[in-house]
Structure 1
């Protein structure tokens, strides 16, 4: 397949469109990264809560261990500290859950910020570029196989805009019906120009 035209004007538009898609993608990736980092700031309170819960859990666990060493009443003294240590563990879990929720939100927002605008542009750009590549590739196959230019000439007569056909010399259609090589090449050149391709030199060994 051929992805770029031979004529500079169309090739320049194609290159500009491809570069625009690339820049658009990079822009939204950068925006997504900025938003991702900004949302992650919201996880700081969750980290603080987790650290606080871990600290309380550790301190109360140590206090419970020390209280258990007291003769006779050790178990009774350790019970409140163990309860506080359990509460600290719950606080730690809550802080961790809050961080995970913020991380998930940041990731989802970043993905959406890339997929929506980039996907919207790709849905318009990609069919246009693929259609050109397929058509240009088919034309190259026709020309490489030395196929009759009548195929391209007939397509030009059927699909070319009337203003473009009006620029051809008078009697081109009638000359094409008679098999005039000059008329065939003129019409084929019109179809190739639509794709930004050049008509190959006339084969001196053949009629066209």
Structure 2
């Protein structure tokens, strides 16, 4: 698989682009974790409420158990303590529910902060890189097939094919640097010009002859 162009300038741009993309991903993942941690700080009151209410409920039930041992009046006196313990349990459950809600919110915020910027760039960068890899792979396969003849005919066909692609794909300034009239050179079978045009296209596709 050819990931980068053979032309040094374009290869450098591709490598730099990939490094910047990876840096972009890493930066926003870090920002997502920071955002999540910031939101999770909102759960501190819920944790405190859950701990305090649970402790109160345990103490009230302990008192309830001790009062229940008092002869004759123990059962009558335990009622208020049991009711208060139940209310404390309800408060602890509310605190736990708040903690869970904040945790879900923190996860959603962290994912949104990390994924949205990454996806906005990925929808541009990834298709461009995938298209290059696909074209380079197809060009390499075609080059191998045409060169397999080994009798010069394949080499000539290879040059003509990729020279024609160069005429369609390459900037005019690059074509003009090879010959003043590249179309006429290809049409007239100028072997030197055709080979240089083909090499230009092959390098752009990440393939060396």
- Is the structural similarity TM-score above 0.5? yes
Match of 2:135 in 1: 135
* Partner in structure 2 of residue 33 of structure 1: 33
- Distance in 1 (CA, whole Å) between partners of 2:60 and 2:71 is 19
Are 2:68 and 1:58 aligned? no
Q: Give the TM-score, by structure 2 length.
A: 0.87
Q: 1:176 aligns with which of 186, 205, 209?
A: 186
- Cα deviation for residue 125 of structure 1 reads 0.7
Aligned to 2:168: 158
Structure 1 regions of 5+ residues with no counterpart? 201-208
Cα pair distance change 1:39/1:32, threshold 3 Å? same
1:3-152 pair list within 5 angstroms: 3-145=3-145, 146=147, 147=154, 148-149=157-158, 150-152=160-162
C-alpha distance in structure 2 between counterparts of 1:125 and 1:170, whole Å: 35
Alignment partner, residue 204 of structure 1: none
Unpaired runs of at least 5, structure 2: 148-153
- Residue aligned with 1:4, SS: coil
Alpha-carbon contact 1:156-1:190 (below 8 Å) kept: yes
Shift of 1:193: 4.2
Number of aligned residue pairs: give it. Answer: 199
Q: Check the 8 A contact 2:139/2:205 in 1, yes or no.
A: no
**Deviation of the 1:161 alpha carbon:** 3.0
Structure 2: distance between partners of 1:171 and 1:100: 72
Give yes or no for contact 2:2–2:206 (8 Å, CA) kept in 1.
no
Q: Which has the higher helix share?
A: 2
- Aligned counterpart, 1:205: none
Written as runs of structure 1 = structure 2, the 5 A alignment for 1:182-197 is 182-195=192-205, 197=207
Instruction: Give the Cα–Cα distance (whole angstroms) in 1 for the partners of residues 197 and 128 of structure 2.
Output: 24
CA distance in 2, matches of 1:175, 1:39: 67
The structural deviation recorded for 1:196 is 5.2
Q: Is the 8 A contact 1:173 1:183 kept in 2?
A: no
